[in-house]
Structure 1
Amino acid sequence: MTLADDILLDAALTLIVIAGVLLLIRIWRGPSMLDRAVAVDVAAVLIIAGIGVDAAITRTRYYLSIMLVLAFLGFTSSVGIARFIAARDRAGTPSAEERS
């Protein structure tokens, strides 16, 4: 690998870590359940991106199947959470913000 590759991969990894820290703040402070659900979906994307950077650093292709499975699980969990929130809103159950 060239020096430029090392610099770009290190920069990508640094940005992923910074995004992860900001993501944890959003999960902790998120005012609604929907904000937290979106943050969990972004966490799945950051994990996949981190695995991709690791695969690029080690120059292996074995992680592709793991990345595909994680992407599928992230998508299905996002759809499940969205359906749960939509069903709760249709049922008229007040959220925590509305009860306060």
Structure 2
Amino acid sequence: MGRQPKSEADRVHDRIAVLRADRGVSRRELADAVGVHPQTIGYLERGEYAPSLALALRIARFFDLPIEAIFSLDPLPSLSSELLRRTP
């Protein structure tokens, strides 16, 4: 598992909870698929731990999305606001 962020600048923001809800995936199902304990998924979702690169890549593969669609060093805008910006 990754390390606990030292400061807000080290925090990795993610959309794991939103993606899980959208796809009807439980923490346990995601954890089993990417090889971690379900509690790890909770820690990641709450920003208590930063994922290792390998774990972030496994999560991106699970959701079939580019890693930058799931993780960012900056707070992520809501998906709906992002979609509205792209609509002509």
Q: Same fold by TM (over 0.5)?
A: no
TM range (shorter): under 0.3
Of structures 1 and 2, the one with the larger relative CO (CA 8 A, separation 6+) is 2
| Bigger strand share | 2
| Bigger helix share | 1
**Structure 1 length-normalised TM:** 0.23
